[in-house]
Amino acid sequence: MHKVYLSLGSNLGNRKENIKRALKLISKDNSIICCSHAYRTTPYGYTNQPDFINLALLIHSEMSAGVLLSFLKNIEKSLGRIPAIHWGPRTIDIDILFYDDLIIKEEDFIVPHPDIENRFFVLKPLMDICPDFVHPVLNKTIKELYDILQLKLKSLS
């Protein structure tokens, strides 16, 4: 059984319903162990779009990392996600943040998910479910990464 942290986000259509449907589909073949609160967050990168609803999940999965990635991409597609603008609006976005403590570097698949340390919309929900989890590349806890990002954001305002 693999311990996997996921990030879910939606900013098109009925965002809450999109998330709810994604959770139901994820749970068909995986065990959802815990789920963060849902947070309304501003877009990252391409900012001319509606706000997102984001949350994080811990699941237990029997699937290999590659099979799980395909499974999640199929869920995105079934919920109407159409790849368009990088960091653009989407009905649903499901990312594998951490897969056990593995480090995976393939052309189309990187774990831990890149740039977690700069993404408030990822770190805030992770704080709800795993503040003490240690990022296997950065060797810092989620809480440490969150605190560092908070200081960066404060210095910018």
Is 81 a catalytic site residue? yes
Q: Is residue 145 part of a domain?
A: no
The amino acid occupying position 57 is L
Looking at the predicted structure, is the pLDDT value of residue 146 above 90? yes
CA distance 154 to 96: 28
Task: Read off the pLDDT band of 155 (50, 70, 90).
Answer: confident
CA distance 109 to 91: 21
Beta bridge pairs of residue 52: 41
Is 95 a catalytic site residue? yes
Catalytic residue among 95, 115, 119, 147, which?
95
Domain extent at residue 26: 2-114
Q: Is residue 149 part of a domain?
A: no
pLDDT in tens, 29-86: 999 999 999 999 887 666 667 888 999 999 999 999 999 999 999 999 988 766 665 5
Which CATH number is 89's domain given?
A: 3.30.70.560
pTM: 0.91
Is 119 a catalytic site residue? no
Q: State mean pLDDT over 125-144.
A: 98
Q: Number of structural domains, the chain?
A: 1
Q: State mean pLDDT over 126-130.
A: 98
CA distance 154 to 148: 10
Is 90 a catalytic site residue? yes
